[in-house]
A = this chain, B = another copy of it.
Amino acid sequence: MSDLLERLRGRDWRMTAQRRVIAEVLDGEHVHLTADEVLARATARLPEISRATVYNTLGELVSLGEVIEVSTGRAKRYDPNAHHPHQHLVCSGCGAIRDVHPAADPLAALPASERFGFTVSEASVTYRGLCPECAARG
């Protein structure tokens, strides 16, 4: 069953058919959908759902901390795997995305002298390269 949906039940989040469908679409381990992809999949289950609702709900899930916003290309992608920290590896050829786990916390690599008085709270790393298929294809 939907982990995300489960967690949302625990909060005082008004549950509607639309929100349920969006949460279901987003559920899983290696999901990195764009808003348009979410809309397409949600529409398959609930044809009257509107684009604005998808954007609203995604925005809300992001501010609840249940979903992470990833911008690797043109459109933002939404990653429901928010409960365990990770980074992203992106293929420059086909755009495929994998969740990866660096050996060291990237935040720790930034010395105080390089923080310029900022209160630094987050570091996001995007690794880029070619996936095996794209590398083979030349």
Q: Is the CB of B98 within 8 A of A102?
A: no
Tell me the number of copies of this protein: 2
Within 8 Å of chain B (Cβ to Cβ): is A44? Answer: no
8 Å CB contacts to B: which residues of A40-92? 71, 89, 91-92
Determine the chain B residues whose CB is within 8 A of the CB of A125 once the complex forms. 106, 123-125
Q: Is the CB of B118 within 8 A of A89?
A: yes
Q: How far is the CB of A87 from chain B (nearest CB, A)?
A: 8
Count contacts on A: residues with CB < 8 A to the other chain: 35
Q: Is the CB of B103 within 8 A of A117?
A: no
Docked pose: A67 CA to B76 CA in angstroms = 23
Q: Give the interface segment out of A2-10, A19-27, A31-39, A127-135.
A: A127-135
Q: A103-B109, A110-B102 are in contact. Are A128 and B121 (CB under 8 A)?
A: yes
Determine the chain B residues whose CB is within 8 A of the CB of A118 once the complex forms. 89, 91, 98, 127, 129-132, 135
Given contacts A102-B111, A118-B135, 6 further A-B contacts (CB under 8 A): A100-B115, A109-B109, A118-B130, A119-B129, A122-B129, A124-B128
